[in-house]
Chains A and B, each alone.
Chain A
């Protein structure tokens, strides 16, 4: 399996532009997570999906951020309009299940991340 695939790996854009980050989870995984990492705030959970349905979006910073999962093999994280403070590495992760569903189903597999720079 190719693992979790994210694109683009690097994105440089100007303030006010729309940014779309993409993620392809591991086939068969029912959970998908979006994280953001900055030096100041560390790794933050933004949102996670179960079977394509958003379960918890309490970490989404504001209305400029939106995430979708139209099918089991694809998710997007969109920022519109982007601001310099959105500059970060955005990670997508997927898991087979969750810990309470079974001992070995909750391991998260992370992608390589998308490094976003907003000028």
Chain B
């Protein structure tokens, strides 16, 4: 499975869009990009996934570059409850978590 690189931490003002980047330059053609988040000590929660096309759901949008070597998770209007660790994962069967990005939403 390809590896991913994320910034260790980010801040975002409440109500603003949070844009979380992820680099996955070694991704292969059949590997999906998926995002999970973990709030405090809870189990990780699925957010969104994609293969080639951009995706949007009720939680977030996923923008994948044309060469698929990087992606961005967008939380359109961040709230305090979005403070969490966000994991970008690339693979096609096993879900292997890296260290993720710790997002702090600031009032």
Bound-complex Cα distance A21 to B87 (A) = 25
- Flag whether A86 is at the interface (Cβ < 8 A): no
Residues of chain B at interface, number, CB under 8 A: 23
In contact, A99 and B45 (Cβ under 8 angstroms) = no
- Flag whether A15 is at the interface (Cβ < 8 A): no
Could you count the A-B residue pairs with CB atoms below 8 Å apart for me: how many are there? 54
In contact, B97 and A108 (Cβ under 8 angstroms) = no
Residue of B nearest to A55 (CB): B93
In contact, A100 and B43 (Cβ under 8 angstroms) = no
Contact with A along B34-56 (1 / 0, CB 8 A): 10101001111110010000000
CB distance from A49 to the nearest CB of B (A): 12
Interface residues on A, range: 20 to 34
Bound-complex Cα distance A66 to B96 (A) = 20
> Residues of B contacting A112 with CB < 8 Å?
42-43
Given A45-B94, A99-B92, A106-B49, 5 extra CB contacts under 8 A: A43-B97, A99-B34, A100-B92, A110-B44, A113-B42
- A sample of 28 cross-chain residue pairs with beta-carbon separation below 8 angstroms, ordered by A number, consists of A42-B99, A43-B87, A44-B97, A45-B96, A48-B94, A56-B94, A89-B41, A91-B43, A91-B44, A98-B92, A98-B93, A99-B34, A99-B49, A99-B93, A100-B92, A100-B93, A106-B32, A106-B49, A107-B46, A107-B49, A108-B36, A108-B44, A108-B46, A108-B95, A110-B44, A110-B45, A112-B43, A113-B43
